[in-house]
Amino acid sequence: MRRIVVAITGASGTIYGVRLLQALQATPGIETHLIMSKWAKQNLAVEQTGYTLQQVNEMADVVYDDREMGATVASGSFMHDGMVIVPASMKTVAAIATGLADTLIGRAADVTLKERRPLLLVPRESPFNQIHLENMLKLARMGVEIIPPIPAFYNHPKTIDDLIDHNTMKLLDHLHIQNAFGGRWQGLAAAKKDAKGANSK
C-alpha cells in the first residue's frame, strides 16, 4: 500500500486537487491522506466545483484538519510516498520556503522535505512577482518539484476537464503512478495525421 498526502490550499483551482483525489481513489493500492485549508473549503463552493466538502472528504482514506498539529502526518516518522500541494497558494509556498510550519499543511511539507521524500507543488498565481519566483527557486533547489497547471494544446483539449486531466497526468507521472490521463504526445507524424483528419471534416 502506497501512501500519498494531498493538500489543497486556498489558491484558485480547487478542482485540480479534487481531480487528483479522484484519480488516486481509482488507483488500486493507494492510500490518500487529505488536508484542506480553511480557504480551500471556501473555494470549493465559490468556484462552483460541483462537489461538497463531504464528497471531497469521502474521496480520501484519512482526513485531517489544517489546525491539527498533532496529526500523524506532522511527524517525520509517518511513512509516505509523496506529498502534493494542489493548488499551492503563494502564502503556502512562502511558508514552506522559510520553514514556517504554523499549519498542518506547512508542517507536513516541512517533514516531507527533511525526510527527503517527494514534494510536489502546483503553484497557482499569475503573474509571479520576484518573491514568488525566488521562493519557488529556493524550493526547487531543495528537490521540490514545481508543476504549475500550464495547459498543453498538442492533445487538442476540448473542455476544461481535458485541461485538468492533463495536469493530473503530470502529477501522477511524477508520483510514479501509471495512468491514462491527459492524452500523451504521440510524435509529430501522429499530430500531422490528426490535423489532416480534422481539416478534411
Is 91 marked within a binding site? Answer: yes
Q: Strand locations in the chain, DSSP E?
A: 2-8, 30-36, 62-65, 83-88, 119-123, 145-146
CA distances 74 to 16, 61, 105, 121, Å, are 23, 17, 8, 18
User: Beta partners for 68?
Assistant: none
116 annotated among ligand-binding-site residues: no
Q: Annotation-wise, does 201 bind a ligand?
A: no
Residue 19 annotated as binding?
Answer: no
Helix axes 104-114, 90-98, angle to 10 degrees: 50
* 154 labeled binding residue: yes
Three-class secondary structure of residue 27 per DSSP = coil
Is 124 annotated as ligand-binding? Answer: yes
Q: Is 82 annotated as a binding residue?
A: no
* CA gap 91, 172 in Å, rounded: 24
11 annotated ligand-binding residue: yes
- Write the burial class of residue 4 (CB in 10 Å: 0-12 exposed, 13-18 middle, 19+ buried): buried
The response to whether 170 counts as a known ligand-binding position is: yes
12 is in an annotated binding site: yes
90 is in an annotated binding site: yes
| CA gap 20, 147 in Å, rounded | 13
Residues belonging to the binding site for FMN are: 10-12, 37, 89-92, 124
Residues belonging to the binding site are: 10-12, 37, 89-92, 124, 154, 170
Residues belonging to the binding site for dimethylallyl phosphate are: 154, 170
